[in-house]
Amino acid sequence: MSETLLDVQGLRVRFGGGTEAVRGVSLAVDRGETHCLVGESGCGKSVSALAVMTLLARGATRSAERMAFAGTDLLGLDERGMAKLRGNRMAMIFQEPMTSLNPAYTVGSQMAEVMRRHRGASRRAALDRAAALLGRVGITAPGMRLAQYPHQLSGGLRQRVMIAMALMCDPELLIADEPTTALDVTVQAQILRLLLELQRELGLAILLITHDLGIVARMAHRVSVMYAGQVVESAPAADLFAAPTHPYTRGLLDCVPAPGKVARGAQLGSIPGTVPRIPLGFTGCAFRDRCAQAMPECSGDIPAQTRIPGHRYLCRLPAGWPRDAAA
């Protein structure tokens, strides 16, 4: 039986002006598992991850029914206690490595600081560890790279540096926020293959944030689909792709062109409209204005339903609704 490493229940994040960016998100990541958090831009994926790491912008407020990491209550930790975990047992790869790395310091000094701070290592030992990890993530001449500044590296190299930095203290959980954004297709494949190899070797648990369903199909053991600050469907990856139930999940999958099945010149799938801003006190399904199956009852409370054990979705439609409609 798998051991749950990260357990988040009922997470909410509010910003000033009455905006609720995350509304009751619940998810769990087991040891050695890749859990993908997927959805359109603006759905609250990155904010959820930043809330777990206690890295929200000033003015944001966070609350949850439960937020635990390896049995430690994260809600009860002060900043000092959280700082001992962050970068040590829990690490994060941020979306844009050029802005995440400090342009005023060399790669080596930034990587070494992580190990010196958390493990009390000497500068020499920390630099040796950094060089070894740069080589492990596929960077040639790692000793030379340690003396370089971020602007001297390509986007792919900077992303590899971020991965190596996150691994400096052998974390148990790695949160990767769109780690292949803005990289060309070849480099994307290399980065994803690297994450899979590292997971197998180190037993990492990975919370992978993405909007790319191709990445989800390749990487995920479990998937949580987010929309307007809520997890609207959560299931094992194979089951989600085989039997998507929430209309939003179906819409996302319909937007992915299937090789050999989409005729040349045919119109690609799309979801009309945009993700709405959710005011405080909002009730009902946030997807109802974009949903072809919406009904008047969708403006009221939406029940959480189970299709099979482990596959939950937030919708009034029954689990077999496309077949039910056909019947």
Burial of 18 (0-12, 13-18, 19+ CB in 10 A): exposed
Instruction: Calculate ∠ Cα 321-324-325, nearest 5°.
Output: 85
- Rounded to whole angstroms, the Cα distance separating 133 from 192 reads 17
- Over residues 15-34, the pLDDT tens digits come to 876 778 999 999 999 999 99
CB contact at 8 A, 228 and 291 = no
Smallest Cα–Cα separation from 19: which of 287, 280, 226, 286?
Answer: 280
First CA to last CA distance, the chain: 39
- Over residues 269-315, the pLDDT tens digits come to 788 888 888 888 888 999 999 999 999 999 999 999 999 999 999 99
- Over residues 94-147, the pLDDT tens digits come to 887 778 899 999 999 999 999 999 999 999 999 999 999 999 888 999 999 999
Cα distances from 266 to residues 256, 261, 262, 270, 272, in angstroms, run: 13, 10, 7, 12, 17
